[in-house]
Structure 1
Amino acid sequence: MLCHFFLLLFVTGGSACTGQDEHNNELLRQVMREENGHIRWKVYGFRDDPYKEKVEIYYGNGKLKEVYFRKAGRMEGIRTVFFDNGNLSESGNWHEDNRVGEFRYYQQNGHLECVQHFGLIGESVE
């Protein structure tokens, strides 16, 4: 199956872009859509930190697949991944593209499958 994508790019500068989230100072910066109009991903910037971004990735059915944060292009902060039924698949914290701390992995039915711990440089400590 051949998928075609097109990119809508919003660059924030002196003026604010629509899509602002008043609770956490997010500004919508980029939207990628498939030809059929379904959103593939969104990228948000933050007014108070120009190097921080939030990325949302979507399934073809429009449900949220993944949310993560990056700073200066590197994964930084909480990342959550969802099954296409909306249930949580995994969650954990990242620091400079490395897994750090507790990661939880779930089955499609929502039951916790396992918990894994990572050290400061992303190695498993179990």
Structure 2
Amino acid sequence: MSGERTSINTYSALLPGLLLSLFAISGSGCIARDEQHSSERLRQVMREENGHIQWKVYGFTDDPCKEKVEIYYDNGKLKEVYYRKAGRMEGVRTVFFDNGKLSETGIWHEDNRVGEFRYYRQDGHLECVQYFGLIGESVE
């Protein structure tokens, strides 16, 4: 009987970790989609005639259908970062003003806005928050 209790207690202690692992593997849940991947590799750089970078595209060796795109202002500051999968926007998209402050952020799924989007003024203060349903429609 005590062997059974040890076994049950051991599995009970492991269960939360196993569930978290399943969430991370399936892509569900609130795992950050914009974190740096160790498999991220620079695939393409587009420059203007004056040498300024217009955009960069990164690929992922662990997911060949996924890309990260960075778009830059003429002054060299980052304008926008987003992810796409199989050519469709998928994951966190972050947009910046030319002064470097955050302009907007939110998550996209198959080219549709999903969940909470935050919009900011150029001074950095939050302007508004908007919510979107599963097919990109705005919800109150």
* d(CA) in 2 for partners of 1:99, 1:107: 20
**Alignment-derived partner of residue 106 in structure 2:** 92
1:119 partner amino acid:
G
Deviation at 1:25, TM superposition (A): 1.6
Tell me how far 1:23 sits from its aligned partner. 4.9
| Runs of 4+ displaced beyond 3 Å | none
Q: Structure 1 counterpart of 2:95, which letter?
A: V
From 68, 76, 87, give the equivalent of 1:73: 87
- What is the percent sequence identity of the aligned residues? 85
Aligned-pair RMSD on alpha carbons?
1.0
Larger radius of gyration: 2
**Aligned equivalents of 1:61 and 1:86: distance in 2?**
11
Distance in 1 separating the partners of 2:37 and 2:110: 25
After superposition, give the CA deviation of every residue in 1:27-72 in whole Å (9 maximum; x if it has no partner): 0000000000000000000010000000000000000000000000
| TM-score when normalising by structure 1 | 0.82
Alignment match, 2:96: 82
CA distance in 2 between counterparts of 1:101 and 1:55 reads 21
Aligned to 1:112: 126
* Change beyond 3 A, Cα 1:26–1:111: same
- How does the TM-score come out when normalised to structure 2? 0.74
In structure 2, runs of 5+ residues without a counterpart are 1-35
Distance 2:37 2:71 in 1: 21
> Hey, which of these two has a bigger chunk of strand by percent?
1
Which of 43, 48, 51 aligns to 1:34? It is 48
Q: How many residues align?
A: 105
Question: Which blocks of at least 5 consecutive residues in structure 1 are unaligned?
Answer: 1-21
Q: Is residue 102 from structure 1 mapped to residue 116 from structure 2 by the alignment?
A: yes
Matched, 1:64 2:96: no
